[in-house]
Structure 1
């Protein structure tokens, strides 16, 4: 059965929160794909004096505000309800769109004024900071309410489906952007970039309003809970069972009682008990005993370490990606000589490649598990990024200037590095208690802070040493992240067993 056939029969689609979260994901991804990739980086680079470092600072400010908003909003979502937090976030989103529109209008008035970028840059930083607050205040409660509305055993598949929706609609944004550039002029000039920016930021109003559709009352009960903390739920794993040797005297007593029972049955005319194998009285017999306290301690340890290892991995990946993700459009513009439409075409194809790899990865976890599959794909992505760095070490950087060489490597590398994000998310959610999911999802948003926050360092590296230096630094940190995630191999059997052990009901 294919992945898409498996998705069709799920109970999740009947839940209003799941449908609203998917609509939000689709519209948000579409709008952000329109203005938040090549258009944003390209427009920031046109603001005098046009330094990569200033691009990184603006992006880093967005990430810093997002992180500062995420943690308190996650706490308030767990304490006072996710629905209330999402209503506040919706209002912030609408206000943010208005500030962006004012900023772009002010920037248009300075197009023909030399060295006049200070006011526009400050306003853009304020707008990006507000967008970071919108993202940070909504992400934790949105994700928590979404996962609270899913049955535990359906979570990996539905999370992957949501991820696929996000990347597919993220691809449609650059697709429309490329069409607009073809219509209005395929150049990296301020009027053209601003026009596309206006369209994208205006469409951001839709997801901001969709947050009002999510309701606490549609969340599930114990069906969406994390893995149980005590061994009375289900049957302990074989690894959680201990074996005790029974003394020989006890064996002999049991055999004597069995013999008397058999003789009594025969004296009453009953049929003899068949297929009774006599145990060797000299050999110790092993009795299987459930080690309840050992099981509980083992599970508590797993629920303590697994979320923290997964979160540390995501933060490390975010820290690494931030040094390059905001500068890839500028790399293709300046080193490969591609137009805005061509660069946006890359960001149309890349999400499609991510979807394909994500479906493949989801199928692979049935055979190799949720730990080994991400390790394989992430390691392959790190190797490809290091190859991109090596291609730029020649004096003429000839391979960087060949789109037919560098672009396919970039697309495959992007797909490998991002396709397992929903798998890691499902691991995190499965091992945190339902009552604290908003807080943990907000903590996971810190990875978004590191994503944008490290853009400052990436901008400095690009300005001082070139784009290759940021590629190398990213590959090194991503390799460290893979090593961190590999620590979950110690808990592989428990992670892959989620969904097989269900609470017993009378």
Structure 2
């Protein structure tokens, strides 16, 4: 299907026809959606290759075996994201998703050069600066891409599926980074000496090349043309008799605007006068933020846990980090099927509880095989529920708020970063024993994070 806007594919159709056409449009994946998903995949691959698990271990080895420094890097990443969130969100709403996306991507080559110098010269301050800059670059691109995909797709099941594909693309990219690292290890014959600091640095430097390649992909003609077409169609009805669009084309944006509104159930008001849609958004964000706060204590230390407790080398760490995105990608459709049958909120509740439980089981794993199994399940449950959050939030927000909403969601990265630092302190005080950290994370997620979502069982219809 050639039109780049999925929503425009259904304009002018009868209600009975529109549902089937929407399904066809989603299945066909218009060019701009394909390009955005590809960009999401490359961005995730660059992050997992250059700033992923081996990056954390390299920092741990370079700077005195301190978990605290690893946590400090994550704290800097989160604070930088918080500072940049409001201007980036405002820019995406005022000047367009494409402009915000390409401007953010333009700094990727400079960040890659700075990070390379920092690793080679072992400069902690430049490492922190590079991590902060990469956080801003990532947030600008991810925020613009998510809002743009939500703009392109009609509310409901179609948007839910595309948000699911975005997570799948992200997980495929996260798998690609460790796989390439593993290939480099094999080609260099470094299976027995993978913790050599020089080799680790070379492995990370090669990943920075992919970071630099993010820029030309974001500036591709497909994205620019789609952005131009979106503006042209949006301006069509305002041009009156001088419009260059035909009558049927001029009617298309009106049809899109009519469909891209907050659902009727979400426009209702509670007895307190609060709008249901904002209550839903706030509770979902609170639950997501709390989950990241609790999970962030342990998330940065999984690779170090397998290295310390089970003697994993870099080859095995790469295999582990390449495997879990595939498990996540496989569980996303299952989570979506569950949500379509029982509702998004029950899906969020169940997946969040199971994710917390896996932390506790991982803390009690006595063998490498059981630890790997619990780790993979933990990652799958915690990440495959993300499309449910995104779909509900985007459906409850008007289009004009989607970009600026990044100023609220940026709090997620700050809570994650702060708790990573706390997790590092706890681990250092317990002689790098990460099991206590996993226990704390799991119990808090399974209880508090799920409790916050419970009121939504009464506010959000199961079948929307």
Class of the TM-score when normalised by the shorter of the 2 chains: 0.7 to 0.9
SS state of the match for residue 343, structure 2?
helix
Q: Which residue of structure 2 lines up, in the alignment, with residue 168 of structure 1?
A: 172
Work out whether 1:482 is the aligned partner of 2:456. Answer: no
| Separation in 2, partners of 1:218, 1:149 | 12
In structure 2, the CA distance between the partners of 1:342 and 1:457, relative to structure 1 (3 Å rule), is same
Q: CA deviation at 1:230?
A: 8.6
Encode CA deviations 1:136-170: one digit per residue, 9 max, x unaligned.
23332222122111122310011111211211221
Offset, 1:382 = 1.2
Distance 2:73 2:452 in 1: 29
Q: Which has the larger displacement, 217-226 or 94-103?
A: 217-226
Corresponding residue of 2:228: 217
1:335 to 301, 309, 313: 309
Query: Which structure carries more helix by proportion?
Result: 2
Matched, 1:204 2:211: yes
2:324 matches 1:324: no
Task: Identify the match of residue 195 of structure 2 among 167, 184, 188.
Answer: 188
Instruction: Evaluate the alpha carbon distance shift between residue 6 and residue 97 of structure 1 in structure 2; reply closer, same or farther with a 3 A threshold.
Output: farther
| Counterparts of 1:441 and 1:203, CA distance in 2 | 26
Q: Distance in 2 between matches of 1:371 and 1:64?
A: 30
Matches within 5 A, 1:122-271: 122-153=125-156, 154-184=158-188, 185-186=190-191, 187-213=194-220, 214-215=223-224, 216-219=227-230, 221=253, 223=256, 228=261
Query: 2:79 aligns to what SS in structure 1?
Result: helix
Alignment coverage as a number of residue pairs: 410
Gaps of 5+ in 2: 1-19, 235-252
Distance 1:28 1:375 in 2: 29
Say whether the 8 Å CA contact 1:302–1:491 is kept in structure 2. Answer: yes
User: 2:444 and 2:52 mapped to 1: Cα distance?
Assistant: 22
Q: Secondary structure at the match of 1:50?
A: coil
TM score, norm. by length of structure 1: 0.76
Give the RMSD, CA atoms, in angstroms. Answer: 2.5
- 4+ residue segments displaced more than 6 Å: 5-8, 224-227
Which residue number in structure 1 is paired with residue 376 of structure 2? 411
SS at match of 1:330: helix
Query: Is 2:438 the partner of 1:471?
Result: yes
Residues 1:455 and 2:420 aligned together: yes
State the structure with more CA Rg. Answer: 1
**Aligned counterparts of 2:427 and 2:259: Cα–Cα separation in 1:** 43
Name the CA distance, whole Å, in 2 between partners of 1:7 and 1:382: 36
- Measured after TM superposition, the shift of residue 296 of structure 1 is 4.3
Residue of 24, 37, 45 corresponding to 2:39: 24
- Rounded Cα–Cα distance in structure 2 between residues aligned with 1:332 and 1:72: 39
**Mapped partners of 2:333, 2:115: distance in 1:** 36
Change (3 A) 1:224 1:10: farther
Distance in 2 (alpha carbons) for counterparts of 1:74 and 1:12? 29
Q: Deviations over 1:399-428 (max 9, x none)?
A: 1xx211211111112111211111111111
Which one of the candidate residues 399, 418, 428 is aligned to 1:434?
A: 399
| Partners of 1:442 and 1:218 in 2: CA distance | 28
Deviation at 1:13, TM superposition (A): 4.8
Change (3 A) 1:310 1:328: same
Give me the whole-angstrom Cα distance separating, in 2, the residues matched to 1:209 and 1:453: 33
